[in-house]
């Protein structure tokens, strides 16, 4: 959408957003691994043992997770709206259930399956244009 609206400038914004992750990865990933931590919240809570830091990090994690959850719920609700009017509630319940029982490993596998199915369906839907 950005590329469509802004042309070459939109392309630069898109590429910059994609590649800005790499310096962060190179600068922080090894330090996190060597420190025995998996998240930035763990590093901060070890460095600053004050309980306020843990509360702030938990709050920010919840806010980001809720924003991600809302986006997924709206997208899934739009797709499942033809099935029933309570599709958003059902989808939210299913997402909460697989996260509660599967943890981060379950969430990771669900994201892998979603990415693969999205890629496959985009290829299948694009197939008729291959013949032209």
Q: In terms of DSSP H, where are the helices of the chain?
A: 2-6, 8-19, 21-34, 40-47, 51-80, 87-126
Residue with tokens 């379950």: 106
User: What confidence tens digit (pLDDT) does each residue in 9-66 have?
Assistant: 777 777 787 788 788 778 877 877 787 877 778 888 888 888 898 899 889 888 888 8
Whole-model pTM: value is: 0.46
């Amino acid at each position: 959408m950005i590329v469509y609206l802004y042309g070459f400038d939109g392309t630069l914004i898109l590429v910059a957003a994609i590649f800005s992750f790499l310096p962060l990865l190179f600068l922080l990933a090894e330090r996190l691994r060597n420190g025995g931590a998996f998240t930035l919240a763990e590093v901060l809570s070890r460095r600053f043992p004050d309980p306020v830091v843990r509360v702030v990090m938990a709050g920010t994690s919840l806010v980001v997770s809720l924003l991600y959850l809302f986006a997924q719920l709206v997208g899934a609700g739009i797709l499942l709206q033809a099935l029933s009017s309570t599709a958003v509630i059902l989808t939210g319940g299913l997402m909460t259930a697989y996260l509660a029982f599967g943890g981060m490993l379950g969430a990771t596998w669900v994201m892998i399956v979603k990415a693969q199915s999205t890629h496959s369906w985009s290829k299948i839907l694009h197939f008729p244009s291959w013949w032209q």
